Amino acid sequence: MHDSLNICIAGAGTIGTALGQVLAEKDSLNVTLLSVEVDVVEDINTKHINTTYFPQIKLNQRLKASDDNSVLKSADIVFLAIPSVVVVSYVNSIRSFLREDSVLVNLAKGFGSDNSTIVDELKKVVANPVCTLKGPTFARELINHMPTAMTVGADDQAIFELLGSTFSGTTIHTDFTEDVTGVEILSILKNIYAIVIGIVDAHFDSPNLRFMIFTRAFNEMRHVLLKFGGKQETMFRYCGIGDFGLTALNDLSRNRTLGLLIGKGFFTDDISGKVVLEGRIAAGVICEQLIRMQVPQSEYFMLNELNKIFLGGYNIKKFIGNIVSNDLPPKPSNGF
C-alpha cells in the first residue's frame, strides 16, 4: 500500500468535481481532475471554483485540474466520470498513458458502445483492473458533505480494500459485491423504471399507487436482472434499492423528471428523438435483447409499455391503466 495515492478523475462535470472535492480533503490523496474543458481547468486552478458546474462552491485548494493526459501516468486510481456513451472510446484513446496497475473505476450508468456493459467493454480494451462504483448519489449532495453510499462491484477483493481505504474518513460509505454485471445492469435499469414512476406521479399524487408501482417495478427489475446474469442479492446493495429509490422518487433525478414531462403530455413525437437521457436509450436496447432471448413479455411488461411511448404513437392516458392491470408473474421463468 502506498503512503499516498495519486487519484485522477477523468471528467470535471458535476459528479467528477463532487468526488474530487470529497477526496481532496484527505492529506494522503493527491487528486487531479482531468478535463478537456480548458476554462474549467483554469477556473479550478486559479479561482478554486468550477464556475460551469458549481459556481457557488469554493473548492479545496488541494484539488487540482489538468487538460494534460500525462497526469494519468502517475495515477494509482482513475475514476471515469464521463458520459456512458464515450467511456470506452475515451479509455481507448488514453490507454497509452495508463500505468499497467492503475485501477479503472467506472462511474457511468449506461451501456457501452456495443450494448454490452461498460466494464465488459473496457476489459477488452485494457489489461488494467476494472471495477464499477454505483449508488444513490446526487452530486449536489455529495459536494455538500452529505453522507453518501456506493457499491463497489469488482471481481477482486483487493480492489474493494483499496477503494475502502481511499474513502475511509470521508462522507462516502461503500459496500462490496463480486457481481459486477449486476451492479452495471441495475444502474441502467433504475433509470428506466424511474421514468415509469415519474409518469405515474404526473397523473396521480397517490402514495398508494406510487408504491404499488414502485414495488412492481422493483420486482420487474429483478426479472430482467436475472436474465442478464446478475444476482438477486445485488438488488439489496446500495446500487440496487438505494439507487432506484433515489432516482425514482426525487425531483433532482433527470429520468424521473423525464417521466413527469411524459405524464404531463410534454413529450411529443416531435421532441422524442432529441431526448438522449440514459433511460430512454437503455429501454430500447434492453427490450431488443430480451426479445432476442425470447423472454416472455409478461416479465418486462412495464419496460415494454415505456418503450412503446419512446417509439411514438402511444396514448399516454392508457399507460397507467395498462401497467396496473398486468400483474407480474410471482417468479422469474428461470427461477432464483
Choosing from 26, 64, 109, 190, the catalytic residue is: 190
Cell numbers found for residue 336? 432464483
- CA angle (52 as vertex; 4, 14 as ends), nearest 5: 50
Exposed e or buried b for every residue in 235-269, given b needs 16+ CB within 10 A? bebbbbbbbbbbbbbeeebbbbbbbbbbbeeebee
Give residue limits of the domains in the chain.
5-178, 181-324
Q: What 3-state class would DSSP assign to 174? A: strand
H or E segment and range at residue 105: strand 103-106
The whole-angstrom separation of Cα 235 and Cα 240 is: 4
What is the homologous superfamily of the domain 5-178 according to CATH? NAD(P)-binding Rossmann-like Domain (3.40.50.720)
Instruction: Give me Rg for the CA atoms of the chain.
Output: 20
Give the residues across from 151 on adjacent strands.
134, 175
pTM of the model: 0.93
The whole-angstrom separation of Cα 318 and Cα 315 is: 6
Annotated catalytic residue 317: no
pLDDT (tens digit, 0 to 9) for every residue of the chain, 336 residues total? 446 999 999 999 999 999 999 999 999 999 999 999 999 999 999 999 999 999 999 999 999 999 999 999 999 999 999 988 899 999 999 999 999 999 999 999 888 777 789 999 999 999 999 999 999 999 999 999 999 999 999 999 999 999 999 999 999 999 999 999 999 999 999 999 999 999 999 999 999 999 999 999 999 999 999 999 999 999 999 999 999 999 999 999 988 998 998 999 886 655 555 555 666 788 999 999 999 999 999 899 999 999 999 888 888 889 999 999 987 666 665 544
The topology under which CATH files domain 181-324 is N-(1-d-carboxylethyl)-l-norvaline Dehydrogenase; domain 2 (1.10.1040)
